[in-house]
Amino acid sequence: MFMNTDTQYLHKVAESDYEHGWVADLAADTLPKGLNEDVIRLISSKKQDPDWMLEWRLRAFRHWRTLADDADKYPRWAHLQYPEIDFQNISYYSAPNSKPKYESLDEVDPELLRTFESLGIPLQEQKLLAGVAVDAVIDSVSVTTTFKEELGKLGIIFCSFTEAVEKHPDLVRKYMGSVVPHTDNFYAALNAAVFSDGSFCYIPPGVRCPMELSTYFRINEAGTGQFERTLIVADEGSYVSYLEGCTAPRRDENQLHAAVVEIVAAKNAEVKYSTIQNWYPGDREGIGGVYNFVTKRGICAGDGSKISWTQLETGSAITWKYPSVILKGNHSVGEFYSVAFTKGRQQADTGTKMIHLGSNTSSTIISKGISAGRSNNSYRGLVRVNKKAKNARNFSQCDSMLLGDRCGAHTFPYLEINNPTAQVEHEATTSKVGEDQIFYCNQRGISEQDAIKLIVSGFCQEILAQLPMEFAVEARKLLAIELEGSVG
Amino acid sequence: MTPLLEIQNLHASVEEMSILKGVDLTVHIGETHAVMGPNGSGKSTLAAILAGREDYDVTGGSVFYQGEDLLEMDVDERAREGVFLAFQYPVELPGVSMMNFLKQAVNSVREHRGQEPLNAASLLRLARRNAELIHLDPSLKKRSVNEGFSGGEKKRNEIFQLAMLEPTLAILDETDSGLDIDALRSVADGVNALRTPDRSFVVITHYQRLLDYIIPDFVHVMVDGRIVKSGGKELALALEERGYEWIREETSAVPA
Amino acid sequence: MTPSADITRFVTAFEHREAARNGSHFWLGDLRREAMRQFTTLGFPTRKTEAWKYTNIASTLRRTLATDVSVVSVDNARAAPIPGLDAHVIVFDNGRYRAALSHIQDLPDGVLVTGLAEAAQSHAWLLRRYFGRVADYETCPFVALNTAFTEDSAVVYVPANTVLERPVHLVHRISSGQDALVQPRVLVIAEDNARLTLIQTSVTTSAIPTFTNAVTEIFVGRDAHLERIDIQDEPDGASVVSSLDVTQDTGSTFHNSSFTLGGSIVRNNINVLTDAEHCQTFLNGLFLAEGASHVDNHTLIDHAKPQCYSSEYYKGILDDRATGVFNGKVLVRQDAQQINAYQSNKSIVLADTARMYAKPELEIYADDVKCSHGATTGQLDDEAIFYLRARGLTEKQARSLMLVSFARDVTERVTIAPLREVLDALITEHLGA
């Protein structure tokens, strides 16, 4: 199912960084732990950055230093609990690892394999995902190439960030940091200083991208995902649907992930960004899980533009993520559809920000949180209508469902209305699966486990329906697997 | 021959309050029994206990279904064994599509019977046929289970599910309540079409009018937690004419 | 937070005052000193404090704020009771009990409606048991400051199984010839199965800006029923931080309606702890803000035990350059199962320069709960105004009618008829109808 060439996914499988060459005298693949200006310079030279890129990184780093040195600037406001991160105890660069982690599948965590099995992932891919040596790499290079040619004819640029810096410096310089400046927050500053790679996408005026662009299968780029940077620019009247993530739980050595995603939508452009996040959540006690601190933001820069975020969050020990839209153009539209499922000791603090600047802008927020085990699941969202944003409209709905009596579900919306013509509506509910609903299903022969799965996926239906079709099928399956073992 | 359902001296209470005070009822295969009674007589409690709702404490007596102790079975086990309850108040399942729901329900019942699961196409075909049979608006199949259905649509949907699951014992709990005469007639038509020699019905109702359309083989009158009078279909007509007071007066003279 | 220049003058004033007491063993000396210690540790909140994100109290705190305010005589007409309302009236000037102006009628046996001095003599045990026990001076700096400077307090005590038929009306009058910090204090105890209605009104008559830091603590006993109505009708220049802390025992009902009709900066903190089963809590509120007013309602309903019900209903109308804030939190603790909690906040913004910040929060740790909240902000419905005009009303009449009806939703929740009428009249006046 993953590598079905019939699907319209573009798998950026073979975008390995080797072609860009490594500074020969730097033998080590992984930098020693710690962060200072020399490390930034080293990363930059490994990436063969142009001077402007190095300068950009250094500026971000110097800003980050001021934040890191001030105890008050360390982000603490989210409803999360975790030990403070020692930023000097992390290695900030690791070359794409060609060495396998394991020699055979027998060495891999059987729990992980069972999940692969239920997802129907072919054996070869299981090995890839788990980091096991594979003899024959799936023939995806040609797939990528075929798609690239087709996209190229339309003038669409879709490549790694490193390649974009090299080949499209004007576009990168114009847009990079324009939506998420390095001064935005602690982790945005850190990412700008040390980011290793990511994706770049440009859709020229009037072009409707004929396929879903995807980065979800970049397995051989493992190790570069830690500080990823994505930039999507949709020029006037263009359309693109972009997919991020992978339904399979990816084992990962990096505990801290601080990615940045920037989207720019020009006049009448539309960008749809879908995510499935299923990073390693840690063991039952939450040990070893990924800290996922992502800054995602889009700007509806032109009139009539639209940015839509859809996400299914089931992974990571801690998720801290607020995909946002700045509605600058008049009549622009922002959307946020989210399902966050937490179990075990997972903590998620996620939501969105809709900043209304232009007139007649509208935004919709639909968020569904499901908590199980001893997890905590928070929605945190901001709707701000600025002084000059006439006739802004917002509708928000945040529903939480609790599966078990040791978990938490929280809703923290912020509504800031500075213009009287705004119409802002927020609704939230928290409840558990109704006993009468379970009884009804039981009476039709459906077991309690299956009934809960059925009812929970019904609860999320509105959001999953927003995902591109094949992705939605994967998402449903993933959700069912996650629910397995967390209820009953 | 072993009766399909045999209820003996069934006592049940809810929160210490005694509701059923010794119900006896025997249903053979292929029969249709009507249980009538005034509000609060315990009719719906009887239906709930047969389906396995846990809000009630069975304090005495027994229920045997196909010779097995029904009260020992879980709710979904009873359903798979062929006991179907048409709910008085069908439950809404937001976001759960009818077809997905039916697929799970039908195939879990089929699996239990040792039948092959139906694939999507056969299921759809079966659903279409049954929907026609009970005049269910085909567009309802595309919606979430009972969500936003009118009262009549919900009741019709119960009979539709009855047709899909092909139970051995169907219990209709006040299926006529809240229906206008047209809806009532079409629900009754559906039920009549599903009456077969290998299926039994227990029709619970307050009013006689449903029995104009679903003609029962036997009528039982329940008052104050007991079946106080049983007879043929003419008993329902007598009740309609003379009211429940008549039964009360008549039976209070007889020691329980 | 470290002690800053902001707080040192209060520390100095406090020490000065304690020294002047000259070791006289006033019974709550220990509590005052403990509160002062807490206050110096806590310091004042800043805009970075999440709970004060939208309210800037710093400029108020930078003012002179004399802590020694003498009781000045105020136009006694303002102490007049509510027309048509037969109540026990108890008057406080700048937080000091004025027995001569109060009008307390025959009280049932054991009921106490008085100032702190008298209560300390006759009911020392009561004060020791309840005073400072509910008001949270450990985490709230304003409560700590008020507690540290406690000189007097209203004390209302209704013993078990006693019904106080007539409402108690507490009149707080603030008047000062200087920029002053006035810190009124109220202690209310309704013991098991008691019943009480409490009306609090505050009136500031100073031409000079004042800062009122009021604390009310309420204990609602088992199966007791307490309704409180708070009317703040402050002039421009008056800043208020009002803290209400409530603890409810099993089966009790607490019904609060708070009306904010004026003031430069008004911040109301309401914390209700339902620390027992089967409690019912109703928090209703209406705020009208015009000019440069800033009104912030900050509520917390802390459901610590199972099977409780709470309903919160706040409405606001904002005009001119006014700012409204509503921060309502429902907390359901672990094991507090079968909680039903509802919260609603609706605001109408009338002017381009008015602002509304709403932050309704649900923090839920139990699974068998039904909780919901809703918040809306919008304008008056043009269609409705058009409809009314088509029926012959002028635009002004139509708008007033709509606004008064919007507000009446809250006044209707007050159970005392004469008070409803007074409120309706006040609101109509404020809305310029």
Chain-chain contact of B94 with A440 (C-beta, under 8 angstroms):
no
- How far apart are alpha carbons A363 and A333 in whole angstroms? 6
Determine contact, residues A436/B91, Cβ cutoff 8 Å. yes
Residue B126 corresponds to which tokens in the numbers above?
A: 């079966």
- Judged by CB atoms within 8 Å, which residues 376-405 of A form the interface with C? 387, 400, 402-405
Contacts of A462 in chain B (CB under 8 A): 95
- How far apart are alpha carbons B34 and B31 in whole angstroms? 10
Longest CA–CA span in chain A (Å) reads 71
pLDDT tens digits, residue range A10-27? Answer: 333 222 222 222 222 333
Q: Does residue B152 surpass a pLDDT of 50?
A: yes
Residue A462 corresponds to which tokens in the numbers above?
A: 């509105």
Q: Which regions of A278-422 does DSSP assign to beta strands (E)?
A: 291-300, 306-313, 318-321, 324-327, 333-342, 347-350, 353-356, 362-372, 376-385, 393-403, 408-417
Residue with tokens 């249709």: B32
- How far apart are alpha carbons A106 and A319 in whole angstroms? 31
Is ipTM beyond 0.90? no
Residue type, C112: L
Best CA proximity match to A456, nearest among A474, A473, A431:
A431
Residue type, C24: S
Best CA proximity match to A353, nearest among A396, A293, A292:
A396
Digit-by-digit pLDDT tens for chain A (488 residues) are 333 333 333 333 222 222 222 222 333 456 677 788 888 888 888 888 999 999 999 999 999 988 888 777 677 666 777 777 778 877 777 654 444 455 666 666 666 566 556 555 555 555 555 544 333 333 333 345 556 777 889 999 988 888 889 899 999 999 999 999 988 888 999 999 988 888 899 999 999 998 888 754 433 334 444 788 899 999 999 999 998 876 555 555 557 788 899 999 999 999 999 988 888 787 777 677 788 888 999 999 999 999 999 999 988 888 889 999 999 999 999 999 999 999 888 888 999 999 999 999 999 999 999 998 888 899 999 999 999 999 999 999 999 998 888 888 888 889 999 998 999 988 888 888 888 899 999 999 999 888 998 999 889 988 988 888 777 887 888 888 888 766 64
State the DSSP string of B110-131. Answer: HHHTTPPPPPHHHHHHHHHHHH
Query: What is the least distance, in Å, from the CA of B94 to any CA of chain A?
Result: 6
Predicted local distance difference test score (pLDDT) of residue B209: 84
Query: How many A×C Cβ pairs under 8 Å?
Result: 115
Chain-chain contact of A404 with C367 (C-beta, under 8 angstroms):
yes
Determine contact, residues B33/B220, Cβ cutoff 8 Å. yes
Residue type, B5: L
- How far apart are alpha carbons B207 and A474 in whole angstroms? 50
CB distance from B115 to chain A under 8 Å? no
- How far apart are alpha carbons A63 and A73 in whole angstroms? 11
Chain-chain contact of A461 with B95 (C-beta, under 8 angstroms):
yes
CB distance from A413 to chain C under 8 Å? yes
- How far apart are alpha carbons A261 and A193 in whole angstroms? 15
Per-residue pLDDT, averaged over B211-223, amounts to: 92
- Judged by CB atoms within 8 Å, which residues 83-142 of A form the interface with C? none
Chain-chain contact of C359 with A413 (C-beta, under 8 angstroms):
yes
Nearest to C363 among A410, A420, A426 (CB): A410
Query: What is the least distance, in Å, from the CA of B162 to any CA of chain A?
Result: 9
Predicted local distance difference test score (pLDDT) of residue A397: 92
Query: What is the least distance, in Å, from the CA of A319 to any CA of chain C?
Result: 18
Residue type, C14: F
CB distance from C337 to chain A under 8 Å? yes
Would you call A139 exposed, middle or buried from its count of C-beta atoms within 10 A (0-12, 13-18, 19+)? Answer: exposed
Q: Average pLDDT per run of 10 along chain C, which is 433 residues long?
A: 64 84 66 93 87 88 78 60 85 90 90 91 90 92 94 94 94 86 95 95 84 96 96 90 96 96 94 95 96 95 95 95 94 90 93 92 87 88 80 83 89 90 88 71
CB distance from A406 to chain C under 8 Å? yes
Q: What angle do CA A216, A221, A225 make, to 5 degrees?
A: 75
Helix axis angle, A186-194 to A37-46, nearest 10°: 50
Best mutation target, C365, C399, C403, to test chain A (most A CBs within 10 A) = C365
Predicted local distance difference test score (pLDDT) of residue C76: 60
Would you call B256 exposed, middle or buried from its count of C-beta atoms within 10 A (0-12, 13-18, 19+)? Answer: exposed
Best CA proximity match to C396, nearest among C432, C426, C429:
C432
Best CA proximity match to A366, nearest among A432, A459, A452:
A459
- How far apart are alpha carbons B61 and B12 in whole angstroms? 9
Predicted local distance difference test score (pLDDT) of residue C184: 94
- How far apart are alpha carbons C178 and C181 in whole angstroms? 9
Q: Do chains B and C touch (3 or more CB pairs under 8 A)?
A: no
Contacts of C43 in chain A (CB under 8 A): none
Best mutation target, A397, A405, A456, to test chain C (most C CBs within 10 A) = A405
Residue of B nearest to A463 (CA): B95
Contacts of A387 in chain C (CB under 8 A): 352-353
Residue with tokens 């033998």: A27
Q: What angle do CA A5, A10, A14 make, to 5 degrees?
A: 95
Query: Sign of dihedral through CA atoms A159, A165, A168, A174?
Result: positive
Residue type, B37: G
CA C216 from chain center: how many Å? 7
- Judged by CB atoms within 8 Å, which residues 137-176 of B form the interface with A? 144, 161, 165
- How far apart are alpha carbons A290 and B35 in whole angstroms? 61
Instruction: Say how many Å lie between the first and final Cα of chain A, rounded.
Output: 30
CB distance from A441 to chain B under 8 Å? yes
Question: Hey, what's the torsion of the CAs at B58, B62, B66, B71, to 10 degrees?
Answer: 20
Residue of A nearest to B109 (CA): A445
Chain-chain contact of A424 with C350 (C-beta, under 8 angstroms):
no
Residue of A nearest to B50 (CA): A443
Determine contact, residues C188/C196, Cβ cutoff 8 Å. yes
pTM of this prediction exceeds 0.90: no
Residue with tokens 């036997």: B218
Residue type, A66: T
Chain-chain contact of A407 with C367 (C-beta, under 8 angstroms):
yes
Residue B242 corresponds to which tokens in the numbers above?
A: 């003379």
Contacts of C303 in chain A (CB under 8 A): none
Nearest to C355 among A72, A418, A429 (CB): A418
CB atoms inside a 10 Å sphere around CB C172: 23
Residue of A nearest to B161 (CA): A444
- How far apart are alpha carbons C345 and C283 in whole angstroms? 11
Predicted local distance difference test score (pLDDT) of residue A394: 94
User: Which partners does chain B have (≥3 C-beta pairs < 8 Å)?
Assistant: A
SS3 C199: strand
H/E element holding C155?
Answer: strand C154-158
Predicted local distance difference test score (pLDDT) of residue A119: 57
CA C384 from chain center: how many Å? 34
Chain-chain contact of C365 with A408 (C-beta, under 8 angstroms):
yes
Q: Which residues of B154-177 are buried (b: 16+ CB within 10 A; e: fewer)?
A: bbbbbbbbbbbbbbbbbbbbbbbe
- How far apart are alpha carbons C152 and C162 in whole angstroms? 26
Query: What is the least distance, in Å, from the CA of B49 to any CA of chain A?
Result: 12
Predicted local distance difference test score (pLDDT) of residue B86: 92
pLDDT tens digits, residue range B12-67? Answer: 998 889 999 999 999 999 999 999 988 888 998 999 999 888 888 999 999 999 99
Would you call A121 exposed, middle or buried from its count of C-beta atoms within 10 A (0-12, 13-18, 19+)? Answer: buried
- How far apart are alpha carbons C138 and C31 in whole angstroms? 11
Best mutation target, A416, A425, A452, to test chain C (most C CBs within 10 A) = A416
Determine contact, residues A246/A212, Cβ cutoff 8 Å. no
Helix axis angle, A110-119 to A123-130, nearest 10°: 140
Predicted local distance difference test score (pLDDT) of residue A487: 60
Tell me what percent of the residues of chain A surpass a pLDDT of 70. 76
- How far apart are alpha carbons C324 and C294 in whole angstroms? 6
Per-residue pLDDT, averaged over B73-101, amounts to: 89
- Secondary structure letter of residue B73 according to DSSP: S
- Secondary structure letter of residue A136 according to DSSP: S
Determine contact, residues A380/A78, Cβ cutoff 8 Å. yes
Nearest to A445 among B91, B92, B165 (CB): B165
Chain-chain contact of A443 with B76 (C-beta, under 8 angstroms):
yes
Chain-chain contact of B79 with A444 (C-beta, under 8 angstroms):
yes
Q: Which residues of C212-246 are buried (b: 16+ CB within 10 A; e: fewer)?
A: bbbbbbbbbbbbbbbbbbbbbbbbebbbbbbbbbb
H/E element holding B98?
Answer: helix B98-112
Contacts of C48 in chain A (CB under 8 A): 72
Best CA proximity match to A437, nearest among B214, C359, B74, B90:
B90
What stretches of C131-192 show up as alpha helix (H) in DSSP? 141-148
Predicted local distance difference test score (pLDDT) of residue A4: 35
Best mutation target, A370, A439, A483, to test chain B (most B CBs within 10 A) = A439
Nearest to C376 among A404, A425, A430 (CB): A425
Predicted local distance difference test score (pLDDT) of residue A88: 80
Residue of A nearest to B101 (CA): A454
Chain-chain contact of A416 with C364 (C-beta, under 8 angstroms):
no
CB distance from B218 to chain A under 8 Å? no
HSE on the CB side for C130, CA within 13 Å? 29
- How far apart are alpha carbons B88 and B174 in whole angstroms? 5
